[in-house]
Amino acid sequence: MNFTKTIMTTASAALISSAAFAGGHMSMEMTIVSWGGAYSASQLKAYHEPYSAKTGVTILNDDSSSTAVAQLRAMNEANNITWDVVDVEAAPAMQLCDEGLALEIDPDTMLAPAPDGTPASEDFGDMLVSECFIPQIVYSTTFGYRTDLVGDTPPDNVCAVFDTKTYPGKRSLFSVPINQMEWALLCDGVAKSDIYDVLATEEGQDRALAKLDTIKDDVIWVSSGSDTPQLLADGEVIMGATYNGRLFSLIEEQKQPVAMIWDGQVMDLDGWIIPAGLSPERQARALDYVMFATDTQRLADQAKYISYGPARASSAPLVGKHADLGIDMAPHMPTAPENLSRAFLMNYDFWADYRDDLDAKFQAWLAK
């Protein structure tokens, strides 16, 4: 009895002292979680550096966004939340919000209005897909191809991926059902508007896998957004899917012989959430940061470094030239009118329901 008591006291003393220690640091530090790479670099330039200059707060980066939901859940279970602001896609943001792991946001009081006074809720508009989600950018998953390896008729349609006759060679796809199943149905003749209805049926799922079967041996299956740019650069694949910003960097910054297929791009949102359960002091700072980082000018600034579209209507006219290359960024945005017209919108609710089931099927199919 005494023994356990001693242990408990020691352990709690240790916890308290470490908390006190952490607290001491927190006053000037915050941990912001994001995706790493060029994306984090653009946030550093556009948001973190000006914010630190303005407030003196030191920003610690943690590149854990790809596993944010799992980690926030674990932190919540352990009752020790170490993150202040987290960059996530729309679907995880919804899930975190539903589970009460993210703070609910009132856009009109907590986010900056547009310079002309338009309230944030109007300025962000449809992008506010969840009560906890603070939209930041619009990105898309789409295809790039090697201009020197596809012959005389460069592909302009996403279905070129399934056309191994005209475009022989390897292509890279993500080894997950999301996007690949949609593209397969789209190229099997299903109308854009019917895709999710078809995919909700067994037959539709089999149909998508059957379509993917036709190119299975020609595909290098990848798991990370950095794989396809590397494979394209090495000439390992002639075309492959990744995020449009990665392709932009490959084409314009690294000057690789690669071009984009905007057709069939699947648009998604990325933004911030603030973990629920922060101390009032930390929460206040997180909100202050978010208010700063998502104002009209800041969102427009990020587009100087990476080709993702700002999520505010008022930022679009302010998108200028690339910070180093000096090229006009507007046409490289997934939201540019001619790109947008060919886009495909992901259905978050469908994937919330079917992700586990289809992932099991997809993995079983891959392993066959």
Partner 1 sequence: MVNSSPNSILLSADGTPLKKSLSRSLRQQKIRALLLISPLLIFILVAFIMPIVSMLSRSVENDLVSQTLPATVSAIQSWDALSGELPDELVYKAFAQDIQNAAKAKVHTKVALRLNYEKSGIASLFKKTARKAKKWDIETDGPFKEKLIKVHKGWGEVEVWQTIKTHSPRYTSGYFLNAVDMRKTVEGADFQPEDKTILIKLFQRTLIMSLIITFSCILLGYPVAWLLANLPMRQANLLMILVLLPFWTSLLVRTSAWKVMLQQQGVINDILVQLSLVSDDARLIMINNEIGTIVAMTHILLPFMILPMYSVMQTIPPSYLRAAKSLGATNWTAFWRVYFPQSIPGIGAGSILVFILAIGYYITPEIVGGTKGVFISNRIAYHILKSLNWGLAAALGTILLVAVLILYWTYDKIVGIDNVKLGG
Residue type, 315: S
* Number of residues engaging partner 1 in binding (CB under 8 A): 36
52 sits near partner 1 (criterion: CB under 8 A): no
Of 18, 221, 281, 325, the one binding partner 1 (CB under 8 A) is: 221
> For 91, how many CA atoms within 13 A lie in the half-sphere containing its CB?
16
Of 126, 152, 203, 234, the one binding partner 1 (CB under 8 A) is: 234
363 sits near partner 1 (criterion: CB under 8 A): yes
Cα–Cα distance, 365 to 3 (Å, whole number): 55
Residue placing its CB nearer to partner 1 in the complex, 27 or 67:
67
Asked whether 76 and 82 are in contact (CB, 8 A), the reply is no
Cα–Cα distance, 363 to 339 (Å, whole number): 32
69-77, 114-122, 158-166, 253-261 -> range binding partner 1 (CB under 8 A): 69-77
Please, what is the minimum distance in Å from the beta carbon of residue 58 to partner 1? 26
36 sits near partner 1 (criterion: CB under 8 A): no
98 sits near partner 1 (criterion: CB under 8 A): yes
Q: Is 122 exposed, middle or buried (0-12, 13-18, 19+ CB in 10 A)?
A: middle
131 sits near partner 1 (criterion: CB under 8 A): no
253 sits near partner 1 (criterion: CB under 8 A): no
Helix H or strand E encompassing 40: helix 37-43
> DSSP state, 275?
B
7 sits near partner 1 (criterion: CB under 8 A): yes
Cα dihedral across residues 242, 244, 250, 251: positive or negative: positive
Of 27, 67, 166, 254, the one binding partner 1 (CB under 8 A) is: 67
Helix H or strand E encompassing 55: helix 49-55
Q: Where are the beta strands (DSSP E) in 147-198?
A: 171-174
Please, what is the minimum distance in Å from the beta carbon of residue 147 to partner 1? 17
353 sits near partner 1 (criterion: CB under 8 A): yes
Rg of the chain over all Cα atoms, to the nearest angstrom: 22
Residue placing its CB nearer to partner 1 in the complex, 21 or 221:
221
| Stretch 199-218 residues interacting with partner 1 (CB under 8 A) | 206
23 sits near partner 1 (criterion: CB under 8 A): no
Cα–Cα distance, 282 to 272 (Å, whole number): 15
Residue placing its CB nearer to partner 1 in the complex, 332 or 361:
361
118 sits near partner 1 (criterion: CB under 8 A): no
Asked whether 32 and 84 are in contact (CB, 8 A), the reply is yes
Please, what is the minimum distance in Å from the beta carbon of residue 234 to partner 1? 5
Classified as helix, coil or strand, 277 is: coil
Helix H or strand E encompassing 302: helix 296-302
70 sits near partner 1 (criterion: CB under 8 A): yes
Backbone angles phi, psi at 335, to 5 degrees: -90, 0
Residue placing its CB nearer to partner 1 in the complex, 180 or 335:
180
Residues that bind partner 1 (CB under 8 A): 7, 66-67, 69-70, 73, 95, 98-100, 170, 175, 206, 220-221, 223, 230, 234-236, 349, 352-361, 363-367
